[in-house]
Chain A
Amino acid sequence: MKVKNVNIDIALTHIFTRKKQTIVAALGVMLGIAVYLFMNSLSAGFTRYSTNEIFKNSAHIKLYKEDAISEPLIPSADTGQLNVIVNPQILQESKKLINPQALIQQLKQYPFITHAIAQVNVDVFYNNGKSQLTGTANGVDITAADAMFNITSYMLAGNLHDLQDNVNAIVIGKGIAEKLNLGLEDNITITSSQGVNKLLKIKGIFSTGNTFTDQSKSYVNIHTAQQFAKENTTYVTTIYANTNNSDRAIQYAKKIQPSMRYKVEAWQITNADVLSGNKVRSTLMGAISLSILIVAAFGIYNILNMTVMQKLNDIAILKATGFSKKDVITIFVTEAVIMGLLGSVAGLLMGAILIAIMANIYMGPPAGYFPIYFNATIFAYSFLLGALVTFCAGYIPALKAARIDPVEIFRK
């Protein structure tokens, strides 16, 4: 064999004359990398799934009027008069957004906003005979809302678009339908918190997979909702907007906020609880898989340590004939890196196979297929981490080899 660099030549010779040990070390790394890749893909899949669940109900960015709190201290205008101190309280103000159409137009001028819709949310009671359920009726332009939340994808029965231009129609959650024993084309009496009563016809039933949502949520025509709130046709409580990149929603919200007099809130703020759950899961899976990878690295460390101990004489004569510390380190680190690279590549392959198998397992509704997918970033991370860990695992025995004093060996 003819290799330009003598250090790499020696490393390769060691590797080839100890195929078994090389394979064992590489197998360890392979398992470590495969598990690391698989678990992190799983975690990313779960996160994406739960984020998609969130986007069934909420948009990337929400625009609404925040509750104002009364000033606790009203200082006196002149000296000699008394200051007024009051308990801070929520001011009873209308939640109405003024000129919603202009707001929507303004939002749509940002290049990163893809959809923006107005919505009227009213608290209502669903009645059927004596049974009663509380919930929220969302008054929307159903075509625009469908484009944004993809409601059609989780409709169980009926047609969502019957809501368009029909003020007497309603689409209810599966839970409401079950509890009140109602089906398509049945009538349902709705009472709003403002005391407005209406008899509406059920034109559709949806199931989001979230029991709470399914037992409380319904869609009505926006004008119906405005009537429930006893307001005119310009009354809008919330504007929802989607962006081209949900991960950047917080930055986008910050960008929009200065030009708006209402509160602009990103979904990450609204759903902080779900996100923190995701974070905990990712950390946990990351920690477990990382420790498996480190255990694999110990395999490389062990085998190289043993090689160094067996090759004390060889190292001594190399140092005597003019190989420097750096040369000796290069030799053993090269061996570790070769083992690591072999293991990493095999591990990525094995991880990819595992992911492909899992991604084809059908879980049944509402989850569908197992939420795992190929993510190039995770592949890159796994590979880099594998390279880094094996480098470190090789560096320690290499350093030990470099520190060997040849005189001590020759005098034995």
Chain B
Amino acid sequence: MSEKKAILRTEGIGKYFYTPVKFKVLDGISFEAYKGEFLTLVGKSGSGKSTLLYCLSTMDSDYEGKLYINEEQVTGKKADELAALRNNSIGFIFQFHYLLPEFSCLKNIMLPALKKQAYSYEEIETRAYEKLKLLGIEDQALKPASKLSGGQQQRVSIARALINDPDIIMCDEPTGNLDSKNTQIVFDTFKKITSELGQTIIAVTHDLDFAKASDRTIELADGKILTHNKTFQ
């Protein structure tokens, strides 16, 4: 067990909602996510699983407790530092694709990398093509994002999440809007990402089949961790 590397760690994360009344959504959440792990968060509506994901994502910094990514404390950093951290280390996949409609699929994938500026424009373009190939939609590269089908759009957004080779990929209901065929494609891709590329996936989902097939599932209820089933091998 000792060789497992914790990529993300939380210490007693708690969060309040203030409207309409003060209400504790998250209460003392402590867990670790390891390198190369496919972790799912499940729970009923209102259990706080999405709220937890947004705290982990660093987009929501209004919580108590502490969050570490790569053993570095993230809690308390400035907004610009957090933005740079997200750019470098975290990829996002949502229920809806959130692609920019004016840009081609290729350009949508390239944007986070263009922001990071670790590579030249041509290199980024080549890398974006590689990601598209990985997801099997390289033939759609130059189409405007709005002209693709739902499943294809979601695959483009997965490619966008992967472009900067982040340590963690966070997903909020990644298959919530997809048919079973596309769900299978996404699932297989996630498996490939974690086992072959060693990246960590933390996904919030309603889909219990999807959760069962993951490496580990954390179930939340009323803002607390209910069960840690299926341990990560």
Does B54 belong to the interface (CB within 8 Å)?
yes
> B94 to chain A: which residues have CB within 8 Å?
410
A2-B121, A407-B59 in contact; A319/B54 too (CB < 8 A)? no
Across the interface, A324 reaches (CB within 8 A) one of B83, B114, B160, B164, namely B83
How many Cβ-Cβ contacts under 8 Å join chain A to chain B?
72
Tell me which residues from 10 to 42 in chain B have a Cβ below 8 Å from any Cβ of chain A.
Answer: none
**B98 near A316 (CB under 8 angstroms)?**
yes
Stretch in B66-74, B85-93, B179-187, B215-223 touching the partner: B85-93
Tell me which residues from 99 to 151 in chain B have a Cβ below 8 Å from any Cβ of chain A.
Answer: 99-103, 111-112, 114-117, 121
Chain B: interface residue total (CB-CB under 8 A): 33
**A406 near B80 (CB under 8 angstroms)?**
no
Across the interface, B84 reaches (CB within 8 A) one of A17, A318, A322, A411, namely A322
* Nearest CB of chain A from residue B24's CB, rounded to whole Å: 18
Q: Scan A12-46; emit 1 where CB is below 8 A from any B CB, else 0.
A: 01100100000000000000000000000000000
* Nearest CB of chain A from residue B20's CB, rounded to whole Å: 16
Does A353 belong to the interface (CB within 8 Å)?
no
A9-B114, A321-B87, A323-B83 in contact; A14/B102 too (CB < 8 A)? yes
CB-CB nearest in chain B for A320: B92
**A320 near B160 (CB under 8 angstroms)?**
no
Across the interface, A319 reaches (CB within 8 A) one of B59, B84, B91, B96, namely B59
> A313 to chain B: which residues have CB within 8 Å?
96, 98
Distance between Cα atoms of A317 and B54 in the complex (Å): 13
**A407 near B60 (CB under 8 angstroms)?**
yes
Distance between Cα atoms of A120 and B80 in the complex (Å): 78
A14-B102, A313-B98, A410-B54 in contact; A321/B160 too (CB < 8 A)? yes
CB-CB nearest in chain B for A323: B115
Q: Scan A298-327; emit 1 where CB is below 8 A from any B CB, else 0.
A: 000000000000000110111111111111
User: Could you name 8 residue pairs across A and B whose Cβ atoms are closer than 8 Å?
Assistant: A14-B102, A318-B111, A320-B86, A322-B164, A325-B80, A326-B80, A407-B54, A407-B59
A interface residues (Cβ-Cβ under 8 A, vs B): 2, 4, 6, 9-10, 13-14, 17, 313-314, 316-327, 405-407, 410-411
